[in-house]
Chain A
């Protein structure tokens, strides 16, 4: 049985037509199912657990990157197949998964091409696309083997899992990070100079890792899948092949 988790923003009038055509298409494919509207405060884990108990086999997230992150940050550990129908703006993860925006996503869903995705684990929740530590005076310890710090004070840290880290070096090389490569990639960018025109970053230092501890004397701002919090210590780990996900043919991994 299919269970569809609709983001609350899809109640807006402008999405009426697109939602109608998606629902018609799902009925055509005979994969229509129960629809649940999720709010910001909805606990996705207990909600999905309940649906699994009632026979739910495939959980389909309908919305954007933030919906995707909101659901999977808690529910990634559950033994169920996940699907995704991207609707509206702010959809970058769907591109990586090879799922087209709108009703065309139903074709991908019906095709049921599945992969096991790696996810990241930070403190007590999962992150699927990326984790961002805003510039701060941090010290990073990798796999309990070596520690990294900067001679310049502040460092920005980006840990990529699903979303590629887009960075062009002086030679014009693009780094593409695959979600299935068995490691997370950390990009450390120390700030070289600060002025009223903004900050100047050094070319990133790159370290593939499986476990990392970020510490600081002062609290630093962390953003994981669009959710921000202030921490003084975070432990980031790789959870291999955690999410069973329906993906498209045009996926970027």
Chain B
């Protein structure tokens, strides 16, 4: 009665990211081990291990991370014991506590946030005086001294 229809294959939709659903670590959840995701990560609980994402990492108030963190962007309101490396913007809110070194491009710190560590940012155009002047090393000084002595002789 009706004409026969040929099979029509529907191509898979192109996903910009494999993780459309965000990764969420709940308040009473404990994660052990290296934890990586290609999507956004929200940490409300505890993570004992490296955290890595190319997108946004959000560490909420009360959350704790005991290892190094690497993210595209990050908003920290909890505690991090480890180094933080952020490709773009890092924001520390009033309740944030960081014990470790920080590398980022843009840094926003709210009053009340606590940091113990070194902060390094890309794009600094001021030259460091200590680095600009060449401080003679011990060997060169000895060399100069020995040369001076031989001239006196």
Contacts and interface: CB of A to CB of B under 8 A. Distances in A.
Are A and B associated in one complex? Answer: yes
Contacts of A111: 5, 8
Interface residues of A, number: 39
A183 interface: yes
Interface stretch (B11-19, B86-94, B122-130, B140-148): B11-19
Interface stretch (A4-12, A48-56, A197-205, A229-237): A197-205
Interface in A207-253: 207-208, 247, 253
A181 interface: yes
B10 interface: yes
State the main secondary structure of chain B at its contact with A.
loop
A30 B24 contact: no
B56 to A, nearest CB: 15
Interface in A106-152: 110-116, 145-152
A15 interface: no
B30 A182 contact: no
Contacts of B33: 145-147
B149 interface: no
A147 B49 CA distance: 10
Contact of A181 (B15, B27, B46): B15
A206 interface: yes
B26 interface: yes
A208 B39 contact: yes
Contact of B10 (A113, A148, A202): A113
A228 B35 CA distance: 31
Nearest to A107: B2
A190 B8 contact: no
Q: Which interface class (under 10, 10 to 19, 20 to 34, 35 or more) fits B?
A: 35 or more
A150 B32 contact: no
B144 to A, nearest CB: 57
Contact of B29 (A110, A145, A148, A247): A148
Nearest to A201: B26
Given A30-B4, A114-B10, A181-B15, A145 B23 contact: no
B26 A203 contact: yes
Contacts of B22: 206
A126 B85 CA distance: 41
Instruction: Among A111, A182, A190, A207, find the residue whose CB has the most chain B CB atoms closer than 10 A.
Output: A207
A162 B27 CA distance: 28
A180 interface: yes
Contacts of B152: none
A205 B25 contact: yes
Given A188-B26, A190-B28, A208 B21 contact: yes
Given A112-B8, A183-B18, A205-B25, A148 B1 contact: no
B32 A146 contact: yes
B10 A208 contact: no
A232 to B, nearest CB: 20
Contact of A147 (B6, B26, B28, B32): B32
Contacts of A1: none
16 contacts: A28-B1, A30-B2, A113-B8, A145-B35, A146-B33, A148-B29, A151-B29, A181-B15, A182-B15, A188-B29, A190-B28, A192-B28, A203-B24, A204-B24, A206-B23, A206-B24
Q: Which are the 10 A-B pairs with shortest beta-carbon distances?
A: A146-B33, A205-B26, A206-B24, A28-B1, A205-B29, A151-B28, A152-B28, A146-B35, A112-B7, A208-B19
Interface of B: 1-2, 4-10, 12-13, 15, 18-37, 39, 45-46, 49
Interface of A: 28-30, 81, 110-116, 145-152, 175, 177-178, 180-183, 185, 188, 190, 192, 202-208, 247, 253
